Structure 1
Amino acid sequence: MKLITILKKLAVACMFATNIINASNTNTIDNIHFLIPGGIGGGWDSTARSVGEVLLKAKLANSVSFENMSGYGGGKALSYLIETLKKQNNTMMINSTPIVIKSLQNYFPQSFRDLTLIASIITDYQVLAVREDSSLKSWNDILIKFKKNPRKLKIGGGSSRGSLDHIVSAQIFKAAGYDPKLVKYISYDAGGKAFNALISGEIDVLSTGLGEVLEKYRLGKVKIIAVTSLEPIKGIEDIPTFKSLGVDMSFANWRGFFAAPGMSEKQVDKFANILKEMYDTTQWKEVRKKNGWSDLYQPKKEFRQFLEEQEKSISSLMKELGFL
């Protein structure tokens, strides 16, 4: 009799434990496929892969997969997502400010309005960086070379001409009092190739996101000239801001996730909720610190309002710089 009572108590305890486990995993998604519109090693790639790995480790997703589809400044992946929408119910596409820029330039016919918005997740500031052994040791050295002959200063980035890395570098020189149209910009397919071009000496200066070079900076492979944040970034206060060097400018690049048009509200909410839950995990806090990112969680409606406001400000900036 006692044995039966004990077994019953064990059964109840097991059921209770199972309910707790199930309750804690209510937002777990079985599978997430990340569509990355650029090559390996760029900002989109590192962000998507970091998010996927954190979701796995935090048990917010049971499996994740990644697909790099570069081409047309992100337009190839965007078109693919829309054209194959019926089989993309578990797909999230990473993107950032370039989706606004390229749409304004009519580089591709679609815009963020043609997609389902999930949420923005981070802000990544831009930097100018040089090789550690470069003769260009400071912002002043760069200006001296630019003033002698602007065409001799080769600035590269992991995005096409007229896109984010080009626009920000042009904005920096304009804020310093120079003609932004004189900036010689060389484009590469994703940040990895642009970084290799810097190391090989093919370019003098790299225009990129802080998160793409921060670890390389810590390893002594590059020197970061300055960052486009208004204030020094916590933990890396030794990197000056352009503003502190007398260049009155700042720029923050968001990154976020989109889905195919027509995705159900239930699925959209599930994606957005696990991204929000991710913020509280130790794994995410470590990734964010490692890359110098700042959290920027804006789901659906907030995200759309943010993009509409950025579209207006970016359009004004691009006209001022001569890109529109």
Structure 2
Amino acid sequence: MRSSLRLLLLVAGLSLSPALWAEPQNPECIAPAAPGGGFDLACRLAQSGLKETGLLQQPLAISYMPGGVGAVAYNQIVTQRPAEEGTLVAFSTGSLLNIAQGKFGRFDEQAVRWLAVIGTSYGALAVRSDSPYRNLQDLVNDLKHNPDRVIIGTSGTIGGQDWLQLALVARAAGLNPRRLRYVALEGGGEIATALQGGHIQIGSTDISDSIPRVQSGQIRILAVFAPHRLREEPAMADIPTAREQGFDIVWPVLRGFYMGPQVSEAQYQWWKTTFDHLLASEDFAQLRDQRELFPLSLTGPELTQHIQEAVTRYRQMAREFDLIH
């Protein structure tokens, strides 16, 4: 498999500038949160995929830069590390939502070079395995009668992705999302830890990075915000959707990477082509499945257009919840 992929790269590159095919030195993937969440998952998937397929000869290092659910990393890449040809930064739908609300400071979706989306997940609501909540309606009933007693853990603050997916449930139930109690945490790993410790009663999170803890019996998923049951994944087949519980809410979560705004066109194209080959690989498809992610492949201009359209939608949604004016 590795030799065939290298051959494909060689043939594809014959008519292109040799500079385009120079592998960057010291490649790094930045997960802009604490270890254990969706950003970490994306970096680890890229790391293992590029290694297993032989598309990257050096190991892809992973580093962590928590802060503002991506805001610290976004600002540092744009202002301090804009031309680093080997640096990738993980992003998610939540990153785009924060950009739409101006939470990444003065920088908008035009500030970086969007590289690739390597898969998608869906939002989810998690509880501890011994929680009294058996379904989404149990939670809604308690939120109606005891909104101050239910503590909800989210990545980021009001207006973030995790906040918004629960706010959509609250709105559908006739509740004011701002009356609920939230605790801002840094990524899915911290949410799971807080659930296990009993510090929060609900974790608004992501299905993919929750599944290992579901399988270990530490947490349970009340609802996944997918369009239908995820029966193609055995570990998710029995998890009910919000839609089938009477709440018509779907929230896909992109997993991908961007680069600094001053990365050379040649090096950007090297990475784009590398990810194009990675995403077409059967080996990578198996690795993605093992991490409970679903197929979605977007790179280069196609991804950039998708990002611009998504941020426009999220700005409108943010206005509906009075998050921006």
Provide TM-score, normalisation by structure 1: 0.87
| Aligned counterpart, 1:208 | 205
Q: How does 1:159-170 map to 2 (within 5 A)?
A: 159-170=156-167
% identity of equivalent residues: 23
The separation in 2 between residues aligned to 1:219 and 1:28, in whole angstroms, is 43
| Aligned counterpart, 1:56 | 51
Q: Secondary structure at the match of 2:296?
A: strand
The separation in 1 between residues aligned to 2:4 and 2:250, in whole angstroms, is 47
| Aligned counterpart, 1:125 | 122
Does the Cα contact within 8 Å between 2:77 and 2:260 map onto a contact in 1? yes
Q: Secondary structure at the match of 2:298?
A: strand
Does the Cα contact within 8 Å between 1:91 and 1:259 map onto a contact in 2? yes
Aligned residues: 306
Of residues 87, 90, 104 in structure 2, which corresponds to 1:91?
A: 87
Q: 2:176 is aligned with what amino acid?
A: D
- The change in CA–CA distance for 1:179 and 1:274 in structure 2 (over 3 A counts) is same
Of residues 145, 148, 153 in structure 2, which corresponds to 1:151?
A: 148
Q: 1:130 is aligned with what amino acid?
A: V
Per-residue deviation, 1:276:
2.1
The separation in 1 between residues aligned to 2:263 and 2:149, in whole angstroms, is 49
| Aligned counterpart, 2:13 | none
Q: Secondary structure at the match of 2:255?
A: strand
Q: Secondary structure at the match of 2:248?
A: coil
The separation in 2 between residues aligned to 1:296 and 1:21, in whole angstroms, is 20
| Aligned counterpart, 2:16 | none
Question: Deviation per CA, 1:50-70, whole angstroms, max 9, x where unpaired?
Answer: 211221122111221112111
State the 4+ residue runs in structure 1 displaced beyond 4 angstroms.
19-22
| Aligned counterpart, 2:298 | 298
Per-residue deviation, 1:130:
0.7
Does the Cα contact within 8 Å between 1:129 and 1:206 map onto a contact in 2? yes
Does the Cα contact within 8 Å between 1:210 and 1:291 map onto a contact in 2? no
Question: Deviation per CA, 1:5-48, whole angstroms, max 9, x where unpaired?
Answer: xxxxxxxxxxxxxx989635647945421122111111111111
| Aligned counterpart, 1:229 | 226
Per-residue deviation, 1:278:
1.8
Q: 1:72 is aligned with what amino acid?
A: G
Per-residue deviation, 1:152:
1.0
Q: Secondary structure at the match of 1:126?
A: strand
Q: Secondary structure at the match of 1:152?
A: coil
Does the Cα contact within 8 Å between 1:181 and 1:322 map onto a contact in 2? no
Does the Cα contact within 8 Å between 2:115 and 2:258 map onto a contact in 1? yes
The separation in 1 between residues aligned to 2:122 and 2:193, in whole angstroms, is 21
Q: For structure 1, which segment, 20-29 or 111-120, has the greater mean C-alpha deviation from structure 2 after superposition?
A: 20-29
Q: Secondary structure at the match of 1:85?
A: coil
Q: How does 1:257-276 map to 2 (within 5 A)?
A: 257-276=257-276
Q: 2:288 is aligned with what amino acid?
A: R
> CA RMSD for the aligned pairs?
2.1
Q: Which protein is bigger by CA-based radius of gyration? A: 1
Residue 39 of structure 2 corresponds to residue 44 of structure 1: yes
Q: Secondary structure at the match of 1:112?
A: coil
Residue 168 of structure 2 corresponds to residue 171 of structure 1: yes
- The change in CA–CA distance for 1:267 and 1:244 in structure 2 (over 3 A counts) is same
Per-residue deviation, 1:181:
2.0
Structure 2 gaps, min length 5: 11-20
Provide TM-score, normalisation by structure 2: 0.87
Structure 1 gaps, min length 5: 1-18
Q: 1:249 is aligned with what amino acid?
A: I
The separation in 1 between residues aligned to 2:309 and 2:131, in whole angstroms, is 39
Per-residue deviation, 1:86:
6.0
Per-residue deviation, 1:290:
2.8
Q: 2:162 is aligned with what amino acid?
A: D
| Aligned counterpart, 1:33 | 28
- The change in CA–CA distance for 1:21 and 1:143 in structure 2 (over 3 A counts) is closer
The separation in 1 between residues aligned to 2:313 and 2:82, in whole angstroms, is 34
The separation in 1 between residues aligned to 2:24 and 2:314, in whole angstroms, is 37
Q: Secondary structure at the match of 1:207?
A: strand
